[in-house]
Amino acid sequence: MSDTHAAHVEASYRSYWIAWAILLVLTLVMISISTKAFLIGGILLKSVIIGAWFMHLKHERAILIWSVVAGILFAGFLFLVIHFDAGTSLL
């Protein structure tokens, strides 16, 4: 294996470890500060980090990124509609 390839592989692993460390710290902060607004913001930030690094969306074209974001937003909207509908029918 050439030295440049080994350096490239090491650099890519380093970015994964950095992203993992950021996610870990963010999780610990979210556990210690448990207000609803901060939790929602933390969840959104963590989903962006996961999408960018682990789903490799940081190197993709904008149309692919927006299609993934639209799918996530649509699924979240459906969850909220079903959640609130089920909650109001119990009353």
Residues contacting 15, CB < 8 A, separation 6+: 53
| Number of alpha carbons in the 13 Å side-chain half-sphere of residue 32 | 6
What the block records as the tokens of 75 is 């699924």
- Helices assigned H by DSSP within the chain: 3-32, 36-49, 62-90
- Condensed to tens digits (0 to 9), the pLDDT of residues 68-89 reads 788 888 988 888 888 777 666 6
Mean per-residue pLDDT, 30-38: 87
Find the mean pLDDT for residues 41-69: 82
What pLDDT score does 35 carry?
Answer: 86
Structural domain boundaries in the chain: 1-55, 60-91
Q: What is the pTM of this model?
A: 0.57
Closest CA to 55 of 42, 39, 71: 71
